[in-house]
Each structure stands twice: as C-alpha cells, then as structure tokens.
Structure 1
Amino acid sequence: MNITEPSFDEAEIALLRECLDSKWVTQGPLTERFERLIAEKQDVKHALACTSCTAALHLATMALKLGPGDEVIVPAFTWVTSAHSAEYVGAKPVFVDVDLSTYNIDPEKLKAAITPRTKAIVAVHLFGLAAPMDEIKAIAEPRGIAIIEDAACAIGTTYKGKPVGAIGDIGCFSFHPRKAVTTGEGGAVTTNRDDLAARVRSQRNHGATGAPDPSIEPPGPWTMATFGNLGFNLRLSDIQAAVGVAQMGKLDRLLAERRRLGRRYSDLLSDVNSIGLPSGGDVDGHTYQSYVIRVLDGGRKHRNDIMRALAQENIQTRPGTHAVHRLEYYSKKYGLTAGQFPNAASAEDTTITLPIFPGMTEDDQRKVVQIVRAMG
C-alpha cells in the first residue's frame, strides 16, 4: 500500500493531447488557465505558476527584497526549503519551535524570537492544517514584518473559512506527487499585492521587464524584451499545466475524500491512548495532505517498531518531516543543538505519516489501523 497516489484519468490525457496538438508546450495559454483556477480556488488576485514550491519560496523572498542582514523566522519542524528560501537570498533563518497539537509554529515562541532584524515570517500550513494566522498577523503587522505562507501542503485549506495563500503577503504552493493535486513537479506563488506579483512575474522569466520604450524605437519583429532584473528560468510548462488544469477540476472531490479518510482514521484510533491524533488548530479547514500521528510512549524506537511492522505488511509510511535545526547544514552553520527546539525534535522522532490517497478503501484503512493498534 502506497503512502499516497495521484488521481489520473482520461481528463489529463485529453488536456495533454490538446496541449501537444497545439504545438505550444512552454509557458502559455494552459499555464494561464491553470493560474486562473488556482486564483479562484484560493480567492486571491494573482496566481503565478512556477517549477516547484521551492522555486515559489525563492521567488517570494526575492519579491520581498530580503537579503543579507535580514532575519526570517521559520518553524523548526518543516520541510527544509522553508528555511532554504532565506538562505537563497543571503538572509538568516531563525528557527522557532512548534506546537505539538498542530505541528505548526507556536505563536508565543514566535513573539519571543522577533528582533529588529526580523523582516519576514514563514507561516507553514503543515500537512494541510492552517497555521494560527490571527496570532501571526497580530505579531507581524504592527512591526511591518512580511508573512510568507508556505502552503506547499495546503491547496484548498482554509483558516476560519478563508483560503490560505491570501492571508499573508505572499503564498507558496506545491504540486509535487504527494500533494492533493499534482503536475509531477510544479508550484505557484499567490498574492493580492500587484508589486509582488510584478516582481515574481519578472524573476521567474529571466528578469524580463517588458517591451522597450516605443518612443526610442517603434515596435516591430526586431523588438526584444528588456531585462531590468536578475531573474531565473522558473516557468511552468504548458505540458505540466495541462495536467494541473485537469487536476484542479477534481480538487473538491479529492479534498472531500481526504477529509473523509482523515476523520475516519481519527474515529478508528480515538481510543488508542498511546497515539496522538491531529486534533488541534482549525481542523474544519484541514485538508489532510498527510495524516500524521504521534507515538506518545516509547520514543523513536517504538515509533520505528510500528513503522517496521507496517512495512512488513507492505504498507508505506514515513516520519512527518524534519526537525530542520538538526540537519547538518543548519546545525553546523549556526551552531544549533538538537535540544534547542524540543517539540520539533520530538515531532521528527515520534511522528508517522499513514497512507491516505484517493480510492483508499475501508479495508485498507482497517488494515493500517489494526497494526497501529496492535503495536501502540
């Protein structure tokens, strides 16, 4: 049993054929169509597709003009590129511990980490559960600190009824195969700010800044773009966008299925006192990109024993994600110790991501739960 599986059918094939028949396979009309669907779903003015959520986070830090001397607050329990995005522009990631009931950033610890050099906060909506955005905004906005929403796991996630990706200054989404919808690899930047959208649009396209001044030379077949920025090639192709358009057409159904499966896991495991369930935060808006449990007794060894028992039955699992401060790059560069962010370390050592995917049957879930219960 796989930990997750994408949902593909003839809809993707038809749109891929349309793309290939058109002979337009780089960023073009299907990418624009995909962007409109993302913007509509997340209720945001601008959605700009790119090659990955890593690229989206990089574009976000560049658009906000972060750089050397700036500090960017990042949860200590997240995927590594939440922190890498600060490093890419020469800023310093400052780690903050998480709340074990949500795996998202702890607002009280966030407040204590603010310094005069803090220029941005990366608010990660981990596993499809929204971060505590009211508390984060209350800390950030009076101080003029930008909020980057790392919504890699959170297409369709809501916070108090509002879609994520439009709550902070800029949002970043992933369409990796483990996400609810996928383009193979792919991402998107979302924002309501015209200035940030313009910078992202330029910097994902080599730094292009539009046509030259027509008063200098009338436009014609000789006209080439101007380049006022240092940019990159981070464009999504129309081949990938064709898959994305088809996937977005299924999104509501896929999210409904994930929510049903997530709630059923919680019901089936509710009486297992040795297992912590995803029950904190705005669970009504949770989209269960991952269903993550925590082993409360026996630490990492017991967690590993449970994962080994599941693997012996050909059931894939994985830890929730990394305690980033314990990774070699960050621990060496900033002199961090494993015990500095104890909740993040505990989460890495004791979490298990259980299989959740479209088409998962009750028997599939029952098999997973039986082993967890027996080992728990």
Structure 2
Amino acid sequence: MSPQLEHILDEVRKYHQEGQDARAFVPGVTEIWPSGAVLDEEDRVALVEAALGMSIAAGKLSRRFERDFARRLQRRKAHMTNSGSSANLLAVSALTSHLLEDRRARPGDEVITVAAGFPTTVNPILQNGLVPVFVDIDLPTYNTTPERVAAAIGPRTRAIIMAHTLGNPFQVAEIAQLAEDHDLLLIEDNCDAVGSTYDGRLTGTFGDMTTVSFYPAHHITTGEGGCVLTSNLALARVIESLRDWGRDCWCEPGESDTCHKRFGYQMGTLPAGYDHKYIFSHVGYNLKSTDIQAALGLSQLAKVDEFCAARRRNWQRLRAALDGLPWLVLPEATPRSDPSWFGFVLTVDPAAPFGRAALVDFLENRKIGTRRLFAGNLTRHPAYLDRPHRIAGDLTNSDLVTEHTFWVGVYPGLTDEMIDYVAASITEFVQEHR
C-alpha cells in the first residue's frame, strides 16, 4: 500500500469515528427497525479503497469474494450476482439448460414451492414457462414438510425450490433425499438463513444449487447483490453462462484465451473459427455485480459469525421474554436445527380478543417496525390469479398467516435494551386485553 493511500484510508477511519451517532436509545422515539445493515469502520474503508482503485466492474475482488464465500458455505463454486432475486432467476433458468439433457425442464414442467413465501422464489418459475406447484406450511416453524412435498410430486415435476423461512431451516435433509429418490433438482433459497444448520450441517449445502441475497436486510450485505452456489461443475458452467450474457466463453474479465483455442471452435451454424468470446450457448442476461460490492462483501464476511451469534442471542432473549403469553403463537425452530434467525415471527390466535392489525398498529406507534410474513398466500395476489399453477392439498395455514401473522426484528443492530422494549410492548398490549 502506498503512503498516499494509507494516509487517505487513515482519514477515512477518522471520518467514520467522528461521525458515529452516540445518542442513547429512547423508548418510543428511537426507531427499532425489523432489519438493516450493520456497517463499521472497516466496511467504509473497504468501499473507499475499492473506489480509489477504480474497480468499477466485476474483477479480482469479485473472484476473491466468490472463492471465500464458496469456502464459507462449503460449495465448490459461487457466482456473484446483482441481487438475490437474480440469483433465483439464474438457478431456476439453469433447470432449462440443454446441458442437463434428460433432466432438463421444458415449458409446462412443474416446480414445487411453498405458497407462503416471497415472490422472487416463484417468479423465475413463471418467467421460464414452468408451472409452480404450491404446498402449505406448518406452524410454528412456518416451513412445509416432506410429506406435503411428496404428495405434490407429479409426472411433470422436475425440481423443488423453497426458502428456509426467516432463517428457520425446513427439513432439508429429508427433502433433499426425496428429490434424489425422484430424480429432481433441489434449489435451496438460503437468502434468509446464512449460518443456519440442520443436523449440524450448514443450510445451503444440501441442494443442487443454493441462492443467497446480500441486500442490506440480510445476514451480510454488499448493498445490492446476491450469489448462486453449487458443487456441481456442470451446473456452475450453466449458471456462469446465463449470468454473463449467455456466452459460451469462460474467460475472466480482461482475459482472452483461457481455453487456448479461442478461434478453434465450430458451434451452431457459425463458421469454423468464430471468436469464442462471442459465441452464445444460452439465452442469458447480464446479472454480474461489481468489485466495489465485492469489497464490502469481503469486509462483511469477516464478521458473519458475530452477526449470526447476535441474531441467535436476540431471538432467544425475545422468545424467553414472551414465553407463556396467551393468544400468540410463538415461533419454534425446526427439530434438529439451529437457525441463524432473520426475524421473530408471531401469529395472533384467531380466537384472540384483538387482531393482528391492532397489535401491529400499537407497535408501529411505539416506533417498533414490523413486517408481514412476506406475501402470505401468493396465490391470492393479483400478479398470480391468472397465471398457470397447481395447488397440492389445501393452503389453510398459508391463509392463516396472510390474515394473522407478522414479524419483528432480531438483526445485530438491535441492543438488549431495544429487544426488551419490544418484548415489554407486546406483553403490555396482550395483558391489556386479558
């Protein structure tokens, strides 16, 4: 590092330290957000150093982050994207690649998912001409079950994609085995669950492909950003092609002849020797991220264990404080799991003398941020009413969470004092209605 750069970064550290807000938490005045990024001095320095290096596209920092993140999630390959939504789009689009041969999903084939989820898990299914098959969930884990998935499998089922709800793992070992038994591909949407484990094994290591989001609400952030991971090198090749315009070439940025036969290919009906950098084998996109995002990701990745520990600690503190309150269904971890929680989910008993809306309004008036369990029952939204889909069984619990469920935050930016205020506020509201 040059003396000039070292001086600039020292000044950045001073700027960060001088700009820290030391105001105390004031109950009912200070906003308690349900989620958010936790950014420190090293994050600011990483961003400035990357910017000064004029790393404005995907390059060496992106490749380094991909290697480090793949190692962290125990996958062979990771491909950064511009969002977690794009990560899901790439993973589902990979199902349709001609390179999968007999396992290739074709228009009209089915992909099993849950109805109570987030649209970006489902949208890529429709965008690829496939048909989502919706299954219900259980309370208080808010995940589906292997039995429901097994009952949903039909002659045109090709894959399963579902998220670990709010960081709580679904029974991923059993569902992965179910996928293997039926020759289906499994995509784990791990966007809310980095650091969670099932049977002592990290979520994101069971599926054929895994997706992650680095949006500021998530476990680590790159601002906007996401990632697709796999240990299947054939799938990794498809994902990279789809992300990078659909090109067949695998040269890194700034490279021109990694395969040593750039002008030695004949593909499609192109003339022999056509430049491999401009041969396209998939109908792809440009969904890459940048080195500036990767620089922040590398800084955040160094703190991921600390962040996950804080999420678990905050969740446990809130769970203990609310234990035994009437009329509230409190969340529970899936058996044999250790979630790195994304949020603390609550369902108001339909028989309670108050409704979800009243409790949410009470909390919001106290500056305690709340969120719905994402879309609730997706099949009830205007975007999906006239779209091809199939419902396996009933969606009773998906409808229940649509009406009665919300969640509050446990992210690392919340202090014990904030968590205790959230618990006290919920308790006060419930006890007023006893």
Query: d(CA) in 1 for partners of 2:126 and 2:284?
Result: 17
Q: How does 1:1-376 map onto structure 2 within 5 Å?
A: 1-65=32-96, 66-210=105-249, 211=257, 213-214=261-262, 216=264, 224-282=277-335, 284-298=337-351, 302-322=355-375, 323-334=377-388, 340-376=394-430
Query: d(CA) in 2 for partners of 1:105 and 1:284?
Result: 15
Displacement of 1:99 in angstroms is 1.2
Secondary structure, aligned partner of 2:125: helix
Secondary structure, aligned partner of 2:355: helix
Displacement of 1:67 in angstroms is 3.2
Query: d(CA) in 2 for partners of 1:273 and 1:244?
Result: 42
Query: d(CA) in 2 for partners of 1:154 and 1:264?
Result: 19
Partners of 1:133 and 1:167 within 8 A in 2: yes
Q: Which runs of 5+ in 2 are unaligned?
A: 1-31, 97-104, 250-256, 266-274
Residues 129-187 of structure 1 show CA distances to partners (whole Å, capped at 9, x for unaligned) of 11101221232211101101111111112111111222011011111111111112111
Query: d(CA) in 1 for partners of 2:352 and 2:76?
Result: 45
Q: Which moved more, 1:357-366 or 1:127-136?
A: 357-366
Query: d(CA) in 1 for partners of 2:65 and 2:35?
Result: 23
Secondary structure, aligned partner of 2:384: helix
Change (3 A) 1:41 1:258: same
Report sequence identity in percent. 32
Change (3 A) 1:232 1:223: closer
Larger Rg: 2
Secondary structure, aligned partner of 2:292: helix
Displacement of 1:24 in angstroms is 2.2
Residues 56-93 of structure 1 show CA distances to partners (whole Å, capped at 9, x for unaligned) of 11111121223312100010111011111201110000
Secondary structure, aligned partner of 2:383: helix
Query: d(CA) in 2 for partners of 1:283 and 1:180?
Result: 21
| Structure 1 counterpart of 2:416, one-letter code | E
Change (3 A) 1:198 1:223: closer
Query: d(CA) in 2 for partners of 1:208 and 1:334?
Result: 30
Change (3 A) 1:359 1:82: closer
Change (3 A) 1:202 1:336: closer
| Structure 1 counterpart of 2:78, one-letter code | A
Change (3 A) 1:300 1:26: farther
| Structure 1 counterpart of 2:147, one-letter code | E
Secondary structure, aligned partner of 1:190: strand
Displacement of 1:336 in angstroms is 8.0
Q: What RMSD, in angstroms, separates the aligned Cα atoms of the two structures?
A: 2.2
Secondary structure, aligned partner of 2:334: coil
Count of aligned pairs: 371
Change (3 A) 1:59 1:335: closer
Query: d(CA) in 2 for partners of 1:300 and 1:258?
Result: 31
Query: d(CA) in 2 for partners of 1:348 and 1:249?
Result: 37
Query: d(CA) in 2 for partners of 1:300 and 1:36?
Result: 53
Displacement of 1:351 in angstroms is 1.6
Displacement of 1:197 in angstroms is 0.3
